């Protein structure tokens, strides 16, 4: 006669017998995955390094382009200031000419 304590052990052994083939297949699958990962990890690492270098180069180019744009904006601003200064001078001269001509000042 089986004792009540032996029943859970019997159930576990029964499940183990029932699923032994599936467990073996899962273990084999895991071993294949591990081998694949070990074999391909150096390539993945190289890809990551190449991607890092590429991103580094893109960032360098972006910084350079941003610097170029900032210089161009600075030059445009300086040109604008110079042009408005020139226009102010010309308007001042024009005002002086108008004031000097009595007939035009009345208009």
DSSP labels, 25-38: HHHHHHHHHHHHHH
Domain annotation covers residue 76: yes
| Residue 74: pLDDT band with limits 50, 70, 90 | very high
Domain annotation covers residue 29: yes
CA angle 27, 29, 35 (to 5 degrees): 105
* Cα–Cα distance for residue pair 86/45, rounded to 1 Å: 61
Nearest to 61 by CA among 51, 69, 50: 69
Across 69-90, average pLDDT: 91
Domain annotation covers residue 97: yes
Range 48-57, long-range pairs (CB < 8 A, 24+ positions): none
DSSP label at 53?
H
Domain annotation covers residue 55: yes
| Residue 61: pLDDT band with limits 50, 70, 90 | very high
Q: How many domains does the chain have?
A: 1
For residue 105, pLDDT beyond 60: no
Domain annotation covers residue 1: no
Query: What confidence tens digit (pLDDT) does each residue in 1-58 have?
Result: 567 777 888 888 888 778 888 888 888 988 898 888 777 776 766 777 778 788 888 8
- Residue numbers of the domain that contains 32: 6-105
């Amino acid at each position: 006669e089986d004792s009540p304590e032996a029943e859970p052990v019997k159930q576990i052994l029964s499940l183990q017998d029932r699923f032994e083939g599936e467990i073996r297949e899962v273990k084999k699958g895991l071993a294949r995955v591990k081998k694949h990962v070990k074999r391909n990890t150096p390539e993945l690492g190289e890809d990551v390094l190449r991607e890092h270098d590429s991103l580094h180069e893109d960032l360098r180019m972006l910084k350079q382009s941003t610097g170029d744009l900032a210089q161009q904006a600075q030059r445009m601003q300086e040109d604008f200031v110079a042009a408005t200064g020139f226009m102010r001078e010309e308007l001042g001269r024009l005002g002086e000419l108008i004031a000097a001509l009595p007939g035009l000042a009345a208009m």
